[in-house]
Amino acid sequence: MKDEASKARLTEQRIIAAAKKNPARFAPLYDIYYKQIFIYIFKKVKNEELCGDITSKVFLKALLNIGKYEDRGFPFSSWLYRIASNEVNMYFRSEKKNQEVELNENDLHSLLDEIKESNEDERLSAVITALNDLPLEQSELIDLRFFEKLSFKQIGVQKEISAGNAKIKVYRALDKLKKLILKTI
């Protein structure tokens, strides 16, 4: 299993190196990552046409800046997720819209377990209300950690901060979420 991951990483590095030399060779990266970036953005904007536009911008920026990409030991997708996150945030800022977080019940229960809240229906609606009241950056951190299931290291790469700083920010966001939940109950 580890051997396969190493081979895939090596293949990815070769494709990236080829794309850096010749942007026309960017297509395999697009083919590999388009669907997962599209899904990530769709979860945020909930509009297929808009999602397609933002995803196109993400890959255009990635193509134009592939020469600046540095391998820091993380998958190339981390860089793409960071670009996608920035594009989504720019969209919400420019449109002055609130970001919606899509929750499934298992993820919500896992979040409740983390903040040591009971899983009663009343609490579930309080958590949803509190999540909507969180500032965008904190809401996104909780989304990345509990709904996208990213590690602190991956969050750090995406946000261009250390893994330790990512952990601190996530737990501060959780603390703020707890306080908001208590206000709504």
Q: Write the DSSP string, 5-64.
A: HHHHHHHHHHHHHHHHH-GGGGHHHHHHHHHHHHHHHHHHH--HHHHHHHHHHHHHHHHH
Domain that holds residue 147: 105-184
- The model's pTM: 0.59
The reply to whether 126 and 158 lie within a common domain is yes
pLDDT in tens, the chain (185 residues): 567 767 777 888 888 888 889 888 899 999 999 998 998 888 888 888 999 999 999 999 999 999 888 887 778 888 898 899 889 888 888 876 544 555 454 555 565 565 555 445 566 677 777 777 788 788 888 888 877 778 888 888 888 888 899 899 988 988 888 888 877 76
d(CA 87, CA 146): 21
Query: What CATH number has the domain bearing residue 68?
Result: 1.10.1740.10
Q: What angle do CA 65, 147, 39 make, to 5 degrees?
A: 50
The reply to whether 19 and 60 lie within a common domain is yes
The reply to whether 9 and 66 lie within a common domain is yes
